[in-house]
Amino acid sequence: MALTRRGLFGAGAAGAATLGLGACGDDYFEPATRHAKDAPNTILIVTDSTRFDYIRAFNPRSRAKTPNLDALAKDSLSFSLAVPEAMPTGPARRSLLTGVRSFPYRNYVPTKGLPVGPGWTPIPDHYPIVTEVMGEAGIETGYSTDNPFLIGPRFANFRRTVDWVKPSFSQGAYRFLNKPFKRPATRSQIERYLLPELSDSVEIGRLRSMVGWNSIYRDNERQYPTARVMRAGINLVDDLKQRRPFFMGVDCFDPHEPFDAPRVYQLAAGSPKGIEVEQAITPIQPFETPYSWVVHVDLDDDSIERVRELYAAELTFTDEWIGRLMNKLADEKLLDESVIYYMSDHGLTLGENGVMGKAGARAQWHIYHVPAMIRHPEGKLAGEMSHYFASTHDVPRTLLSFMGVRAPGMMEGEDLSVLFDGREPPERQHFTSCYDNYLLCGDRDWLLLSDSEGRRKRLYDKRSDPKELHNVAADHPQIVDRLWKVLEDEAGGTLPQFGASGARGVIGG
């Protein structure tokens, strides 16, 4: 399915910006430039809800088997602490595609078709989009995804910038587009997957659709959502290999819940006890999106362990298909002329701190610490680890730099390609991020997590408490004040407050 990038914004000032002209008198876009003559291909692989500690290259004791991501890490420069500048899925994608920070969600207003909450807005018309910039520089672009938001109406302006669009509706159709799967499972068919405490929740419809979809392909893993996205990516290689240099994005919604990997992967990830209890509930959706407290869904320790096994199976399944994509690139002899950038948008809490899912108030290391790695086509820095605070908004500028394309001035991320030339990007002493109406600021030693009004500030000493279990804000008020000042400074001196109709008022300087 090929869609033209022309006419991205239509007529008017925003449309003029795509032609390299100023928008409303402001220099939002610098003039389009050509790519370098020796530009490599660039390939972006994104997985959703992927925890750093479940990839064995970063944690050898992980219960998930990730041989292909491990092999990619061995060939890549990895980042020991990459942190999305904004979360969850939608805000993270916006910075991945535009290089413009969403923190601190100052411009948030509720948008029909997107979840309600700070950060959930589409890409504004005047923002640069990395695929648009590449296209104007003569680079062919392709993108394969089943991300429910990227295939929905609110991100259509992104899809129009891509030459080869491969959307898969297997997840998005029933999750967010109000188009339920036409052959859903019956209520009785989902009982073995359903926690009793969720029997009257919105998850019923989602489970019926997902189980119905997957049950048709129960013995054919090629038709599961993950496999469909990766197979589309493999097909994109055939479409793009004659159009070098090219950009290809492969953006997979898994290992997002529900954790319903093909059974062979579930069995491989399960403990003997988990496998033997065939009549027990297999909670593939163990919380009400976006999160539940463990006590509210009545999960005991054994059930939590089973959920972790199911998540590990989902990640192992995703890793298997990433490997098949990598094999295709190797078969086509493209690895030696392609940069591969892998990253996740956020993690997931699996029972830690009493939470299942993603809660802004508990957006600790399980959520903000994500895997990230860059593979250089010449093998530079292979197997090495950078301690730079890499983030999602660095991705567009870095990819453009590898291809010799000047990034628009609005892109706020740093160019991480300089690391491969023995140089350092501008220093980042802290990372800052936001999730819903909660703010994060951290360095190597401390993490501050607070609501945006600053009423509930929690501080964790990561040196003595790496799992961030104990709030020590009362013991270190000067550290709290220092990190709060960083949040204010990076937000432009003020921090927004939020109401039902969007951002309202500010606090701070």
Mean pLDDT, residues 10-37: 46
Q: Name the burial class of residue 230, with classes exposed (0-12), middle (13-18) and buried (19+) by CB atoms within 10 angstroms of its CB.
A: buried
DSSP 76: S
Please check the confidence at residue 5 and state whether its pLDDT lies above 50.
Answer: no
Most confident of 24-33, 66-75, 110-119, 152-161: 66-75
Is residue 385 located within the same domain as residue 449? no
Q: What is the mean pLDDT of the chain?
A: 88
Is residue 84 located within the same domain as residue 233? yes
Is residue 382 located within the same domain as residue 474? no
Please check the confidence at residue 24 and state whether its pLDDT lies above 60.
Answer: no
Cα–Cα distance between 280 and 300 in angstroms, integer? 13
Is residue 424 located within the same domain as residue 446? no
Q: Where are the alpha helices (DSSP H) in 363-466?
A: 365-368, 395-402
Position 503 scores a pLDDT of 80
Position 205 scores a pLDDT of 82
Collapse the DSSP code of 269 into the 3-class scheme (helix H, G, I; strand E, B; otherwise coil) and give the result: helix
Mean pLDDT, residues 255-259: 93
Position 217 scores a pLDDT of 65
Is residue 471 located within the same domain as residue 448? yes
Residue 391, in any domain of the structure? yes
Position 153 scores a pLDDT of 84
Is residue 90 located within the same domain as residue 238? yes
Is residue 390 located within the same domain as residue 458? no
For residues 192 and 465, which has the higher predicted lDDT (pLDDT)? 465
Q: Which residues have CB under 8 Å from 240's CB, separation 6+?
A: 41, 140, 142, 164, 246, 248
Q: What is the CATH number of the domain that holds 473?
A: 3.30.1120
Q: Among 44-53, 116-125, 200-209, 413-422, which stretch is predicted with the lowest mean pLDDT?
A: 200-209
Residue 184, in any domain of the structure? no
Please check the confidence at residue 71 and state whether its pLDDT lies above 90.
Answer: yes
Using the 3D structure, point to which of 377, 398, 430 is the last residue of a domain.
Answer: 430
Is residue 338 located within the same domain as residue 485? no
Cα–Cα distance between 36 and 40 in angstroms, integer? 9
Please check the confidence at residue 230 and state whether its pLDDT lies above 50.
Answer: yes
For residues 481 and 220, which has the higher predicted lDDT (pLDDT)? 481
Q: Name the burial class of residue 243, with classes exposed (0-12), middle (13-18) and buried (19+) by CB atoms within 10 angstroms of its CB.
A: middle
Mean pLDDT, residues 65-73: 98
Beta-bridge partners for 166: 144
Is residue 149 located within the same domain as residue 239? yes
Asked if 170 and 206 count as a contact pair (C-beta separation under 8 A), the reply is: no
Mean pLDDT, residues 407-412: 96
DSSP 476: -
Where residue 505 falls among pLDDT bands split at 50, 70, 90?
low
> In this structure, what are the phi and psi dihedrals at residue 432, rounded to the nearest 5 degrees?
-130, 145
Q: Which residues have CB under 8 Å from 91's CB, separation 6+?
A: 102, 105, 119, 120, 434
Residue 326, in any domain of the structure? yes
Asked if 89 and 367 count as a contact pair (C-beta separation under 8 A), the reply is: no
State the first-to-last Cα distance of the chain, in angstroms, to the nearest integer.
50
Q: Among 28-32, 139-143, 215-219, which stretch is predicted with the lowest mean pLDDT?
A: 28-32
Residue 18, in any domain of the structure? yes
Is residue 102 located within the same domain as residue 146? yes
Please check the confidence at residue 197 and state whether its pLDDT lies above 60.
Answer: yes
Using the 3D structure, point to which of 386, 412, 430 is the last residue of a domain.
Answer: 430
Is residue 359 located within the same domain as residue 504? no
Using the 3D structure, point to which of 430, 452, 472 is the last residue of a domain.
Answer: 430
Cα–Cα distance between 152 and 172 in angstroms, integer? 8
Percent of all residues in the chain with a pLDDT value above 70, rounded to a whole number: 88
Residue 414, in any domain of the structure? yes
Mean pLDDT, residues 237-244: 95
Please check the confidence at residue 53 and state whether its pLDDT lies above 70.
Answer: yes
Position 189 scores a pLDDT of 85
Where residue 279 falls among pLDDT bands split at 50, 70, 90?
low
pLDDT digit string, tens, across residues 326-368: 999 999 999 999 999 999 999 999 999 999 999 999 999 999 9
Cα–Cα distance between 313 and 325 in angstroms, integer? 19
Residue 350, in any domain of the structure? yes
Where residue 504 falls among pLDDT bands split at 50, 70, 90?
confident
Residue 411, in any domain of the structure? yes
Q: Among 183-192, 381-390, 486-495, which stretch is predicted with the lowest mean pLDDT?
A: 183-192
Please check the confidence at residue 95 and state whether its pLDDT lies above 70.
Answer: yes
Q: Among 172-181, 371-380, 416-425, 479-488, which stretch is predicted with the lowest mean pLDDT?
A: 172-181
Position 23 scores a pLDDT of 36
Please check the confidence at residue 16 and state whether its pLDDT lies above 70.
Answer: no
Cα–Cα distance between 411 and 206 in angstroms, integer? 37
Position 389 scores a pLDDT of 98
Mean pLDDT, residues 471-480: 98
Where residue 14 falls among pLDDT bands split at 50, 70, 90?
very low
Identify the residue whose tokens are 């419809």.
205
Position 499 scores a pLDDT of 82
Q: What is the CATH number of the domain that holds 416?
A: 3.40.720.10
Position 160 scores a pLDDT of 95
Position 94 scores a pLDDT of 97
- The domain tally of the chain equals 2
Residue 302, in any domain of the structure? no
Domain carrying residue 38: 13-177+220-254+310-430
Where residue 507 falls among pLDDT bands split at 50, 70, 90?
low
Position 267 scores a pLDDT of 85
Is residue 328 located within the same domain as residue 417? yes
Mean pLDDT, residues 259-274: 77
For residues 355 and 31, which has the higher predicted lDDT (pLDDT)? 355
